[in-house]
Amino acid sequence: MSHLVAPSLLSANFLNLEKDIAMLNQSEADWLHLDVMDGMFVPNISFGFSIIETIRKATDKPLDVHLMIEEPERYLERFRKAGADIISIHMEASKDPVSALRAIKKLNAKAGIVINPATPVDVLSDVIREADMVLLMSVNPGFGGQSFIQQTFQKIITLKTMITNLDLQVLIEVDGGVDLHNAAPLIKSGVDILVAGNTIFSSENPHQTIHQLKSIR
Ligand code: DX5
Ligand code: ZN
């Protein structure tokens, strides 16, 4: 599978979301990455169900919903109903990630498990079998536009080894500080999905930047 690009709407223009989504619809973006923050798990609050429902009506592309919320198990069904196709929960935020991942799959969505930069890959060993995707945070979650944490590369190698040893088909997504310089080495190390917010939406030509991120081989 060639890699996917998932623009993060956190950096989009919320005053004119329709325009940005129309651009994404015409672009080579594979998924739309939506960051939900509760002001508890992370020191920021973003958006919730109604924005996701609105975005759902404006695009046919899969919605990749990244939940940065405490006890995400409380809201899985509502995010699915709002239009999420992929639902990712943080290992650090869930009391029972195995059950939560199973619940997501029961809702006919893809299930992702996320770890913060400070959380070692080893903690995934008991849950990875339940996941369709692992999301490695390459910045501390909460804000767009931060710089990429280089140690993420080591974690990708460790994660790749774990996936191979267990003979699984789990996808690897990286989120935070992805730019046109680190995208190529990330893909080379085995990343399947690149999330990018600032790099896309702060560029002069977001459509072209998505094309550039997609063209990396
Ligand atoms: C950070 C979010 C990211 C963020 C990425 O907490 O999970 O998805 O929008 O933004 P950039 O690509 O600007 O680092
Ligand atoms: Zn995210």
pLDDT tier for residue 55 given thresholds of 50, 70 and 90: very high
Ligand at minimal distance from the CA of 138 is: 1
Number of domains in the chain: 1
Average pLDDT rounded to a whole number, residues 60-67: 98
Residue 189 CA to residue 152 CA, distance in Å, equals 10
What's the pLDDT score for residue 105? 98
Residue 196 CA: nearest ligand 1 atom is 12
What's the pLDDT score for residue 116? 98
What's the pLDDT score for residue 217? 87
- Cα of 168 vs centre of ligand 2, distance in Å, is 23
What is the percentage of the chain residues whose pLDDT exceeds 90? Answer: 99
- Cα of 177 vs centre of ligand 1, distance in Å, is 7
Q: 20-36: per-residue pLDDT in tens?
A: 999 999 999 999 999 99
Instruction: State the Cα angle at 145 between 159 and 31, rounded to 5°.
Output: 60
Residue 59 CA to residue 21 CA, distance in Å, equals 7
Q: Supply the CATH number for residue 90's domain.
A: 3.20.20.70
Residue 28 CA to residue 30 CA, distance in Å, equals 6
Residue 91 CA to residue 118 CA, distance in Å, equals 12
Range of the domain at 20: 4-215
Average pLDDT rounded to a whole number, residues 64-85: 98
Average pLDDT rounded to a whole number, residues 112-133: 98
What is the percentage of the chain residues whose pLDDT exceeds 70? Answer: 100
Whether the model clears a pTM of 0.95, i.e. scores above it, the answer is yes
Q: What is the mean pLDDT of the chain?
A: 98
